[in-house]
Chains A and B, each alone.
Chain A
């Protein structure tokens, strides 16, 4: 069975949630790994889950992004291992330069926890095999620093040529530029997003009017790891 490393920093709090979602979505084995114990071998994919690494007292994800384990993660990415950053994990990927842009404090000045609708553009790569161009997805967000910021040049050159996840109209919860909720590398193997797919992977957790679309991301990975992408 393919094995997915779920990296846990001090302050990470969605680690077991992600491992659970991997299992219920498609029987993937997610193993929670303490950041100091992480080694490169033996993994088929890596997820950096949400939480508040090191308390995020400085800037979300800033300290975790400068740990040794992130160097190892970068090495894994060069070898082609799929990498997913959720919420704080996305912040870590942006802080470490593995994905472009920056994540700033929400426009409201407050933490926000609510369900949103999203739309995917140019889906490709291991995390999006089951997604179709323009498909609407619902998932919840829960963050204080999720306002995506990018310079125009990179947006036009890179993001518009890569998979891109946007908040649907009227659902931007934080003031993100271009309504961006998640970005990916050109081939889609590195994907980071603010919404929490692990909280939208089972029908029982979904409020009325939304759907458990987060599981499509984990199911995509399961298929990708079995058949390639």
Chain B
């Protein structure tokens, strides 16, 4: 009944491993576990390039989620996941179950989930199909995240026609735990395997293999591979695991995610060098007559594997019964090194755990497609006739405008940790809620346009953007996780983008000393109709630590009369910019040069200014350049400004559109109290960073750009605010 897309060579290899013909069940297990989604067979060799170590990294890549020690004795567990394929077929359930899965990854280490992030790269809001996907995705995340009581505090969005039919839905979850509470014991022979949570059904059969190939032309045929979420059960699992880990009653926890029971058991066994004996008929199921094969590879949601020893088993079961969460005892680990699966007493699969868990890595061919030449072109466009129109066009871009329509649908406050809420700053800040003033900052970033034009620089810049966002709120960036969304790895001209993105991240994180502690890879993101890959996208989620949450910086202007200071030098880098796209309809040109050493020095300056309370507002310069950055600081505050563009430190810039819209890296804009300006400039000089006063905050309801006295653009703040806050809503609200 199931079509098995294992290759001939793979089937031959399985025969060699077993020394005989595999059974149907065994083939399904290999198929699930050797799928790209579960095995990383195409990506593993390249992912080794990423730096993963730092003294504070407690758990690196390899487990369901990594952990870093953010403060002595306190761990942050965080992870990213994609649900691109399911969300293309069924946006509501696809996105919702993405949230469910990433939360369970955090639970496996025994951490308390405290925040969710969603990084959504979606089609044009004006496109009918894309609009339907966007609304469904946001509602799916809203309904699931809100119900489980974890705030969705930050994220990232991008709108582009290449995502009209295949969106990228990347979600991340952040958890906290006392380092001693982390569940790291592992499984050993004799330990009992408990499967708890939802009953197993026929949904999501071989969903990982579905995610490891392009969508079918008739995507509705894939609907059986999409799972449906049940946030109430997820919420109960959170309660159960909180209690079990507080009382140290389990040795090991694993999510039944991609690959279902097969993946959970085989990875748990092979990671700890043990084997397992599993009795499938003991599994609690949702429907009658499920075959052993279906039970092995079903991806029904909200299921987890708990491992404990005989001594603690009774206590674990008591907790499960108290919360009314169903469970089944399906077997135990042993020292055989083999996974032996029985169904009603009959042996249906008997495979070596190690061979099942890790297929041979594949070295994929890679070659740059001719289209990348557009990234080498110098963008030559005429200066815009009206600077005012150009500014309005950039700030009303869905990529720049406020994402209020999205984040207001998420409960971003439950848990009473969210100190800096969505829309107020470059990153969200959560307090630890341990009575101290300490907290953590989180943010997710990507720029699909950059990575599609120059994947190396684009991915490096995504890391830098995330780094700056964490710095701009006053935190010290500690570590990142990445999600690499790419095309078909079997096509060398697709795989080249993946390879370049990995190398870009590896280089930048190495330079910034920012370990990549975990991540995911999603291949086969192609338009179902054309076979073209969607824009390859490197999504970065970072965490930072902050000693005193009360000192965190936000981006909105605070006081009329404050001075506006720019930090960093501006170069003529309008290639691949939002300006070039919005005003000239071009997606080409040189992606801005990543500048790691300057990023580092500038970050130190910004953090020292924030921790010494020398600034009133901080905002990093990103998409849309200085024009977008300033108008965002203004729109979110209701205060206007006047800025003299001739005062901006530049190099080789001769045109006003280059000053306004260049996306040169390593820049920030600050609001500084009048009496501290000279001190701020002195400090910048000491750090060897260009900085200059470029204007001041006003309360006359105007946004004003001048050049040596001459007014270049004068905009009514109420119009700016309306465009900034309502653009997205107008496209997406159904009336």
Taking beta carbons and an 8 Å cutoff, which residues of A are in contact with B?
10-11, 13-14, 17, 20-21, 34, 50-52, 54-57, 108-114, 140, 142, 144, 196, 198-199, 202, 204-205, 207-208
Would A204 and B550 be within 8 Å (CB), given that A11-B232, A52-B146 are in contact?
A: yes
Q: How far is the CB of A127 from chain B (nearest CB, A)?
A: 19
Question: What residues of chain A lie closer than 8 Å to B236, measured between beta carbons?
Answer: 10
CA A110 to CA B733, docked complex, whole Å? 10
Would A52 and B413 be within 8 Å (CB), given that A109-B734, A111-B142, A204-B549 are in contact?
A: no
Q: How far is the CB of B506 from chain A (nearest CB, A)?
A: 38
Cross-chain contact B413 with A112 (CB below 8 angstroms): no
CA A79 to CA B408, docked complex, whole Å? 40
CA A50 to CA B549, docked complex, whole Å? 26
Which of A21, A52, A109 gathers most chain B CB within 10 Å?
A: A52
Cross-chain contact B421 with A207 (CB below 8 angstroms): yes
Is B414 interfacial (CB-CB < 8 Å)? yes
Q: How far is the CB of B435 from chain A (nearest CB, A)?
A: 10
Cross-chain contact B411 with A113 (CB below 8 angstroms): yes
CA A52 to CA B233, docked complex, whole Å? 12
Cross-chain contact A51 with B556 (CB below 8 angstroms): no
Cross-chain contact B549 with A52 (CB below 8 angstroms): no
Contact partner of A204 (CB less than 8 A), chosen from B142, B419, B554, B556, is: B419
Which of A54, A111, A113, A205 gathers most chain B CB within 10 Å?
A: A113
Cross-chain contact A207 with B550 (CB below 8 angstroms): no
Contact residues, B108-143 vs A (CB, 8 A) = 139, 142-143
Question: What residues of chain A lie closer than 8 Å to B550, measured between beta carbons?
Answer: 204
Cross-chain contact A111 with B410 (CB below 8 angstroms): yes
Q: How far is the CB of B234 from chain A (nearest CB, A)?
A: 10
Contact residues, B235-291 vs A (CB, 8 A) = 235-236
CA A11 to CA B322, docked complex, whole Å? 14
Closest CB pairs A-B (n = 6): A13-B149, A55-B232, A142-B411, A52-B147, A17-B416, A111-B409
Would A113 and B409 be within 8 Å (CB), given that A11-B235, A204-B550 are in contact?
A: yes
Cross-chain contact A13 with B148 (CB below 8 angstroms): yes
CA A142 to CA B143, docked complex, whole Å? 12
CA A142 to CA B415, docked complex, whole Å? 12
CA A14 to CA B433, docked complex, whole Å? 14
**Dominant secondary structure at the B interface:** loop
By beta carbon, the residue of chain A nearest B231 is: A55
CA A20 to CA B147, docked complex, whole Å? 20
Question: What residues of chain A lie closer than 8 Å to B414, measured between beta carbons?
Answer: 13-14, 17, 50, 142
Name 15 A/B residue pairs within 8 A (Cβ), A-sorted: A10-B232, A14-B414, A17-B414, A21-B416, A52-B235, A110-B408, A111-B409, A113-B409, A113-B412, A114-B408, A142-B146, A198-B416, A199-B416, A204-B419, A207-B421
Apart from A52-B231, A55-B231, A110-B409, 4 more pairs, CB < 8 Å: A11-B235, A20-B433, A57-B232, A208-B558
Cross-chain contact B232 with A52 (CB below 8 angstroms): yes
CA A14 to CA B409, docked complex, whole Å? 18
Contact residues, B206-222 vs A (CB, 8 A) = none
Cross-chain contact A55 with B139 (CB below 8 angstroms): no
Q: How far is the CB of A206 from chain B (nearest CB, A)?
A: 10
Q: How far is the CB of A54 from chain B (nearest CB, A)?
A: 6
CA A114 to CA B149, docked complex, whole Å? 16
Cross-chain contact A55 with B416 (CB below 8 angstroms): no
CA A199 to CA B412, docked complex, whole Å? 11
Which of B409, B411, B419, B424 gathers most chain A CB within 10 Å?
A: B411
By beta carbon, the residue of chain A nearest B554 is: A208
CA A83 to CA B531, docked complex, whole Å? 60
CA A10 to CA B324, docked complex, whole Å? 9
Question: What residues of chain B lie closer than 8 Å to A110, measured between beta carbons?
Answer: 139, 142, 408-409
Contact residues, B377-428 vs A (CB, 8 A) = 407-416, 418-419, 421, 424
Q: How far is the CB of B613 from chain A (nearest CB, A)?
A: 16
Question: What residues of chain B lie closer than 8 Å to A112, measured between beta carbons?
Answer: 408-409
CA A57 to CA B229, docked complex, whole Å? 12
Q: How far is the CB of A35 from chain B (nearest CB, A)?
A: 11
Cross-chain contact B235 with A205 (CB below 8 angstroms): no
Cross-chain contact B147 with A11 (CB below 8 angstroms): yes
Question: What residues of chain B lie closer than 8 Å to A50, measured between beta carbons?
Answer: 414
Cross-chain contact A205 with B416 (CB below 8 angstroms): yes
Q: How far is the CB of A33 from chain B (nearest CB, A)?
A: 13
By beta carbon, the residue of chain A nearest B405 is: A110
CA A112 to CA B733, docked complex, whole Å? 13
CA A110 to CA B407, docked complex, whole Å? 11
